[in-house]
Amino acid sequence: MMKAWKKNIRQVIPYVPGEQPKETDVIKLNTNENPYPPSPKVKEMCSRIENLRLYPDPAASRLVDAIAGYKGIDRSQVFVGVGSDDVLALSFLTFFNSDKPILFPDITYSFYDVWADLFRIPYETRALDDAFQIRREDYYGENGGVIFPNPNAPTGILMPLDGIRDILEHNQDVVVIVDEAYIDFGGETAQSLLDTYENLLIVQTFSKSRSLAGLRIGYAMGSPELIRALHDVKYSFNSYTMNQPSILLGAASVEDDAYFRETTAKIIATREWFTKEMRDLGFTFPDSKANFLFASHESVPAKEIFEAARKQNIYVRYFNKDRIDNYLRITIGTDEEMRKFLEFLREYLHK
CB of 153 to ligand PMP, least distance (A): 4
Concatenate the DSSP letters of all residues of 218-242 into one string.
Answer: EEEE--HHHHHHHHHHHTTT-TT-S
Interface with ligand PMP in residues 37-96 (CB under 6 A): 83-85
Dist. CA 243–CA 52, nearest whole Å: 9
**Does residue number 213 form part of the binding site for ligand PMP (CB under 6 A)?**
yes
| Radius of gyration of the CA atoms of the chain, in A | 21
CB of 336 to ligand PMP, least distance (A): 24
Closer CB to ligand PMP, 196 or 238, in the complex: 238
* Whole-Å CA distances, 186 to 48, 101, 110, 291, 304: 34, 32, 23, 9, 31
**Does residue number 150 form part of the binding site for ligand PMP (CB under 6 A)?**
no
- Please state whether the peptide bond connecting residue 154 to the residue before it is cis, i.e. omega within 30 degrees of 0: yes
Q: Which residue among 109, 132, 260, 319 contacts ligand PMP (CB under 6 A)?
A: 109
CB of 347 to ligand PMP, least distance (A): 30
Q: Which 3 state secondary structure label does DSSP give 281?
A: coil
**Does residue number 337 form part of the binding site for ligand PMP (CB under 6 A)?**
no
| CB closest to ligand PMP, residue no | 83
**Chain centroid, CA 242 distance in Å:** 19
Q: Which residue among 207, 241, 253, 331 contacts ligand PMP (CB under 6 A)?
A: 207
Dist. CA 201–CA 78, nearest whole Å: 10
**Does residue number 205 form part of the binding site for ligand PMP (CB under 6 A)?**
yes
Q: Which residue among 38, 144, 186, 218 contacts ligand PMP (CB under 6 A)?
A: 218
CB of 210 to ligand PMP, least distance (A): 10
Helix (H) or strand (E) run with residue 284 in it: strand 283-284
Beta bridge mates, 145 = 102
Closer CB to ligand PMP, 254 or 345, in the complex: 254
CB of 74 to ligand PMP, least distance (A): 23
CB of 53 to ligand PMP, least distance (A): 28
Contacts with ligand PMP by CB under 6 A: the residue count is 12
Dist. CA 52–CA 245, nearest whole Å: 8
CB of 228 to ligand PMP, least distance (A): 22
Greatest alpha-carbon span in the chain: 64
Q: Which residue among 149, 186, 187, 333 contacts ligand PMP (CB under 6 A)?
A: 149
Closer CB to ligand PMP, 39 or 155, in the complex: 155
Q: 78-95: b or e for each residue (b if 16 or more CB lie within 10 Å)? A: bbbbbbbbbbbbbbbbbb
**Does residue number 138 form part of the binding site for ligand PMP (CB under 6 A)?**
no
CB of 282 to ligand PMP, least distance (A): 27
Q: Using CB under 6 A, which of the segments 2-10, 205-213, 245-253, 331-339 binds ligand PMP?
A: 205-213
Q: 262-293: b or e for each residue (b if 16 or more CB lie within 10 Å)? A: ebbebbbebbeebbeebeebebebbebbbbbb
Q: Which residue among 181, 215, 247, 324 contacts ligand PMP (CB under 6 A)?
A: 181
Q: Are 26 and 344 in contact (CB under 8 A)?
A: no
Selection from 194, 166, 195 nearest residue 180 by Cα:
194
Helix (H) or strand (E) run with residue 102 in it: strand 102-105
**Does residue number 179 form part of the binding site for ligand PMP (CB under 6 A)?**
yes
Closer CB to ligand PMP, 33 or 337, in the complex: 33
Closer CB to ligand PMP, 179 or 297, in the complex: 179
Selection from 174, 200, 180, 194 nearest residue 74 by Cα:
194
Closer CB to ligand PMP, 220 or 252, in the complex: 220
Binding residues vs ligand PMP (CB under 6 A): 83-85, 109, 149, 153, 179, 181, 205, 207, 213, 218
